[in-house]
Amino acid sequence: MGGVQPVVGVLALQGAFAAHERALAQVGVATRQVRVPAQLDGLDGLVMPGGESTTMSRLLHTSGLFDPLQAALRDGLPVFGTCAGMILLATTVLDGRPDQRSFAVIDIAVRRNGYGRQIDSFETELDVAGEDRPFHAVFIRAPKVESIGPAVEVLAEHEGVPVLAREGAALVASFHPELTDDARLHRLFVHQTGILK
């Protein structure tokens, strides 16, 4: 069977974007680093990695990416946000800077560094809906979900708090799935959003 290989962009302003590229390659999609608006053209999806959310918000503005990316997300571009990416996709950021903007594509309220500072980072096993074995999750200065809207589907929890959720074409994780050798969540993203048939 022929056909064009799907291309998923990886926001490459900050964070472990190279690790996301490796995970996406494992599941059979090509990647493109996204730093300027023209690099959004023709993408089948986008990954927004971790990093420092206020810095990423500022870089999205200075690069001119914020508005065209917001338009693409509103048009249904599938997106997977991890850690800071989750914050940027949330409708409400409870302790963000006054000038911090988010894309508001998933109806959740998050608290930045809700699990504590760098010293409070931890790893744990998560039961993920639809998966037959636990997923090893790495939490680093992770955002904490404080509330979710009625259309949000929770796929995994840690101590009763959602840490993996989706709504429409958006998938978000409080943790860093790219920091393991397990590409199942990247596979979940590309299959459930129709990037890979």
Angle among Cα 135, 186, 92 to the nearest 5 degrees reads 85
List the structure tokens of 5.
């290989």
* pLDDT at position 3: 61
Closest to 126 measured CA to CA, from 118, 117, 136: 136
Tracing tokens 């894309």 back to the chain, one arrives at 103
CATH architecture type of domain 7-192? 3-Layer(aba) Sandwich (3.40)
Q: Which residues contact 176 (CB under 8 A, 6 or more apart)?
A: 16, 50, 82, 83, 137, 138, 139, 140
Along the 197 residues of the chain, how does pLDDT read in single tens digits? Answer: 446 789 999 999 988 899 999 999 999 999 999 999 999 999 999 999 988 888 888 899 999 999 999 999 999 999 999 999 999 999 999 976 767 789 999 999 999 878 877 777 899 999 999 999 999 999 998 999 999 999 999 999 999 999 999 999 999 999 999 999 999 999 999 999 999 87
What amino acid positions are annotated as catalytic residues?
Answer: 83, 176, 178
* Max Cα–Cα distance, the chain, nearest Å: 51
